[in-house]
Amino acid sequence: MLSLKGVVASDLVRKPYLSKSQNKANRTEMISVCNVSMRYGAKILFDDVSTTFTAGRRYGLTGPNGSGKSTFMKILTGELEPQKGNVVRPRKLGVLSQDQFAFDAYRVIDTVIMGNRRLWEAIEERDRIFAKPEITDEDGMRLGELEGIVSEEDGYTAESDAAILLDGLDIPEPLHDQKMSNLQGGQKVRVLLAQAIYGHPQALLLDEPTNHLDLDSIHWLQDFLSRYEGAVIVISHDRHFLNSVCTHVADIDYQTIITYTGGYDDMVVAKTQVRSQIEADNAQREKKIAQLNQFIARFSAGTRSSQVMSRKKEVERLQTTDLAKSNIQRPYIKFTMNRPSGRHALEFQDVSKNYGENNVINGFGASVGRGEKIALIGRNGAGKTTLIRSLLGSAPAVSSEGLDIDSGDIKWGHEVQIGYFAQDHRQSIADGFTTLDWLRQFDPKASTEELRGLLGQMLFQRDEALKPVEALSGGEAARVLFCKLMLEKPNVLVLDEPTNHLDLESINALNIALQRYEGTVFLVTHDHDLIEEVATRIWHFDHGKIEDFKGTYDEYTASVMA
The angle at the Cα of 483, spanning 378 to 429, to the nearest 5 degrees, equals 75
pLDDT for 6 equals 31
Give the tens place of pLDDT for each residue, 407-420. Answer: 999 999 999 999 99
**pLDDT bracket for residue 184 (50, 70, 90):** confident
Q: Is the pLDDT of residue 213 over 90?
A: no
Higher pLDDT, 311 or 498: 498
> Which distant-in-sequence residues (6+ apart) come within 8 Å of 77 by Cβ?
93, 95, 205
Q: What is the pairing mode between strands 407-412 and 373-378?
A: unpaired
Residues 425-445: what's their mean pLDDT?
88
3-state helix, strand, coil in the chain (%, to 5): 45, 20, 35
Q: Is the pLDDT of residue 4 over 70?
A: no
Give the tens place of pLDDT for each residue, 503-559. Answer: 888 999 999 999 999 999 999 999 999 999 999 999 999 877 899 999 999 999 999
Q: Is the pLDDT of residue 134 over 80?
A: yes
pLDDT for 562 equals 75
Q: Is the pLDDT of residue 10 over 90?
A: no
Residues 368-372: what's their mean pLDDT?
97
pLDDT for 64 equals 73
Which range in 378-387, 440-449, 484-493 is most confidently predicted, on average pLDDT? 484-493
pLDDT for 16 equals 31
pLDDT for 295 equals 76
pLDDT for 357 equals 78
pLDDT for 215 equals 87
Q: How far is the C-alpha of 562 from the C-alpha of 555, rounded, in Å?
A: 10
Please state which of the ranges 25-29, 387-391, 404-408 shows the lowest mean pLDDT. 25-29
pLDDT above 90 coverage of the chain, percent: 57
Residues 136-146: what's their mean pLDDT?
92
Q: Domain map of the chain by residue range?
A: 9-116+153-262, 267-317, 344-561
Q: How far is the C-alpha of 136 from the C-alpha of 151, rounded, in Å?
A: 22
DSSP SS3 for 280: helix
Q: Is the pLDDT of residue 396 over 60?
A: yes
Contact, 460 vs 477, CB < 8 A? no
Rg of the chain on CA atoms, in Å: 28
Q: Quick one: which of 336, 332, 334 has its CA closest to 491?
A: 336
Length of the chain: 562
pLDDT for 1 equals 29
Which amino acid would we find at residue 234?
Answer: V
Please state which of the ranges 194-203, 317-326, 457-466, 474-483 shows the lowest mean pLDDT. 317-326
pLDDT for 552 equals 95
Give the tens place of pLDDT for each residue, 265-279. Answer: 999 888 877 766 766
How high is the mean pLDDT of the chain? Answer: 86
Count CB neighbours of 305 within 10 A. 11
**pLDDT bracket for residue 312 (50, 70, 90):** confident
pLDDT for 28 equals 46
DSSP SS3 for 557: helix
Please state which of the ranges 76-80, 297-301, 364-368 shows the lowest mean pLDDT. 297-301
Say if 9-116+153-262 and 344-561 have the same CATH topology.
Answer: yes
Q: Quick one: which of 459, 449, 515 has its CA closest to 482?
A: 459
pLDDT for 287 equals 78
Q: How far is the C-alpha of 184 from the C-alpha of 179, rounded, in Å?
A: 11
Contact, 226 vs 263, CB < 8 A? no
Q: Quick one: which of 238, 197, 196 has its CA closest to 95?
A: 196
Residues 87-101: what's their mean pLDDT?
87
Residues 184-188: what's their mean pLDDT?
81
Contact, 55 vs 229, CB < 8 A? yes
User: Got the DSSP string for 171-228?
Assistant: --GGGTTSBGGGS-HHHHHHHHHHHHHSS--SEEEEESTTTT--HHHHHHHHHHHHH-
Contact, 524 vs 376, CB < 8 A? yes
Q: Is the pLDDT of residue 497 over 50?
A: yes
pLDDT for 85 equals 94
pLDDT for 22 equals 40
Using a 10 angstrom Cβ sphere, with 0-12 exposed, 13-18 middle and 19 or more buried, the burial of residue 352 is: middle
Q: What is the pairing mode between strands 373-378 and 537-542?
A: parallel
DSSP SS3 for 54: strand
Q: How far is the C-alpha of 264 from the C-alpha of 527, rounded, in Å?
A: 15
Q: How far is the C-alpha of 40 from the C-alpha of 81, rounded, in Å?
A: 13
Give the tens place of pLDDT for each residue, 103-116. Answer: 999 999 999 999 99
DSSP SS3 for 418: strand
pLDDT for 19 equals 36
Q: Is the pLDDT of residue 101 over 90?
A: no
344-561 adopts what CATH topology? Rossmann fold (3.40.50)
Higher pLDDT, 16 or 255: 255
Beta bridge partners of 434: 468
DSSP SS3 for 243: helix
**pLDDT bracket for residue 123 (50, 70, 90):** very high
9-116+153-262 adopts what CATH topology? Rossmann fold (3.40.50)
**pLDDT bracket for residue 23 (50, 70, 90):** very low
User: Got the DSSP string for 303-340?
Assistant: S-HHHHHHHHHHHHHTPPPP-PPP-----------SS-
Residues 42-64: what's their mean pLDDT?
90
Residues 349-361: what's their mean pLDDT?
87
